[in-house]
Amino acid sequence: MAFPRDFLWGGAVAANQCEGAYNIDGKGLSIQDVMPQGVMGPMTPQPTANNLKLEGIDFYHRYKDDIRLLAEMGFKVFRTSIAWSRIFPNGDEQEPNEAGLAFYDALFDECHKYGIEPLVTLSHYETPLHLTTEYNGWANRKLIGFYTHYATTVFTRYQHKVKYWLTFNEINSVLHHPLMSGGIFTPKNELSQQDLYQAVHHELVASAMATKVGKEIMPQAKFGCMVLSLPVYPLTPDPDDVIACMHADHKNDFFADVHVRGYYPGYMQRYFREQGIQIQFAADDAQILTNTVDFLSFSYYFSTCETAQENADSASGNLMGGVRNPHLTASEWGWQIDPQGLRYILNKYYDRYQLPLFIVENGLGAKDVLITDGAGEPTVNDDYRIQYLRAHLEQVHEAIEDGVPVMGYTTWGCIDLVSASTAQLSKRYGFIYVDREDDGKGTLSRYKKKSFYWYQNVIHSNGAEL
Ligand code: BGP
């Protein structure tokens, strides 16, 4: 089995799910610091002790040891995000927080020490809280200016350290979770479609602006968009189901279409017309949108079905769900497992865009049992995780054989961290076990799981041995 010679093997995390240190060295609050229950629960007025993200896995203080472990696995790339509120504590300042900038300098230096390329997301569900409470997040056009200033600041600072950039994590999830994804304070059930799609427009313009500015500062760097990919299959061959499926695809594809093509697709114009939505374009928005991306990156966890029938069985997922597929089994959290869906979506994206593709999240959230009574170091026998990742990598290989240019693969949560949707630590994804429980107890010690050695060999053999 051959993967491209320069294939970027690695893993991914996000600042708010691992760093902790939520109020250290001048960091301001982000929305995550007041969302103790993840995407489902309410915001609290202040950070509360039951919020695991406040301490996370203390990556802020332990990153050197953690990067060393990732390097031991042979990582070529490490995806993380910059916590916007470390750089601009409120989000709307002119002057950045030097201590925040210095932290990422040190982190990227540590990666380079081992030949690991950082892959950096500018905004991963961590809007500065002040931008949410004072401006209503991306519903407000002013966010474009604040974000552009933030992006320009970090591009300038890290231009010699980071060459792969992503603008927004899973940008399409804002349709389902306006607060977590778009920092929008208005409760979802009170938010009009008009205001929601206007917020989407602001994010799309900001993303294109960041790509434009980034290319001016770093002509050699690569800029990508990042979407939550969701293969949708018709539940039956009924043409009504196929059309329902097409509509579901359109809602999702809209985001990548604008990023790659530089303009709003006809199917979306029709949707806006029929829904009475009028997107306000400022004078140069259409021009800004023509700053298109160099590659498309995406997360992949599960597929769903779509049907025109009412009352179909539903399936859950991290931020989006759909109709249950009777042919698939699901994870402990109800996410349907479909390795072939990954080959399918890789082919679909490449057919649609003819751009290099980067799988920047994929993995299995599972409950692990730490074995502490053996002779050696405590470990986890996570054969289920190995099996999941192997099956998905086999399909990545199939897609490569199909002729799809895949730049790399970063597994989600390469070290255990706090879940985005449920805010649990017991939903573990890592090759490295972190001793911390849902009640916050634990030593924070790190232990290598069985999958650690498996992935080390996968990278060492460049995918020849899965
Ligand atoms: C994606 C997010 C990640 C990550 C992942 C797994 O939607 O980009 O931040 O958390 O899903 O989801 P969860 O943590 O809810 O299991």
C-alpha to C-alpha distance for 268 and 194, rounded to whole angstroms: 13
CB atoms within 10 A of CB 269: 13
Q: Is the pLDDT of residue 282 over 60?
A: yes
* Nearest Cα residue to atom 3 of ligand 1: 420
Question: Hey, what are 195's tokens?
Answer: 């205001």
Q: pLDDT at position 318, please?
A: 54
Is 216 a known active-site residue?
no
Q: pLDDT at position 261, please?
A: 98
Element (H, E) at 348: helix 339-353
Q: What are 298-308's pLDDT values in tens digits? A: 999 999 999 99
Annotated catalytic residue within 170, 203, 306, 398 = 170
Q: Judge if the beta carbon of residue 380 lies within 6 A of ligand 1.
A: no
Burial of 361 (0-12, 13-18, 19+ CB in 10 A): buried
> ∠263-124-329 over CA atoms, to 5°?
90
CA of 420 to the centre of ligand 1 (A): 5
DSSP three-state, residue 413 = coil
Average pLDDT estimate for 295-299? 98
* pTM for this prediction: 0.97
Question: Hey, what are 208's tokens?
Answer: 């294109």
C-alpha to C-alpha distance for 214 and 221, rounded to whole angstroms: 8
Q: Is the pLDDT of residue 319 over 60?
A: no
Confidence of residue 316 (pLDDT cuts 50, 70, 90): low
Rg (CA), the chain: 21
Q: What are 350-377's pLDDT values in tens digits? A: 999 999 999 999 999 999 999 998 788 9
Nearest to 451 by CA among 391, 379, 401, 399: 379
C-alpha distances out from residue 250 to 52, 203, 245, 270, 369, Å = 36, 18, 9, 11, 41
C-alpha to C-alpha distance for 93 and 247, rounded to whole angstroms: 41
CA of 217 to the centre of ligand 1 (A): 31
What percent of the chain is predicted at pLDDT more than 70? 98
Q: What are 70-98's pLDDT values in tens digits? A: 999 999 999 999 999 999 999 999 999 99
CA of 395 to the centre of ligand 1 (A): 21
* Nearest Cα residue to atom 7 of ligand 1: 318
Which of 175, 299, 359, 417 is the pocket-test mutation for ligand 1 (most atoms within 8 Å of CB)?
299
What percent of the chain is predicted at pLDDT more than 90? 94
Q: Is the pLDDT of residue 17 over 60?
A: yes
What is the average pLDDT score of the chain? 96
Q: pLDDT at position 121, please?
A: 99
Please answer whether residues 299 and 280 qualify as being in contact, where contact means their C-beta atoms are separated by less than 8 angstroms. no
Q: What are 424-435's pLDDT values in tens digits? A: 999 999 999 999
Q: What are 106-150's pLDDT values in tens digits? A: 999 999 999 999 999 999 999 999 999 999 999 999 999 999 999
Q: Is the pLDDT of residue 34 over 70?
A: yes
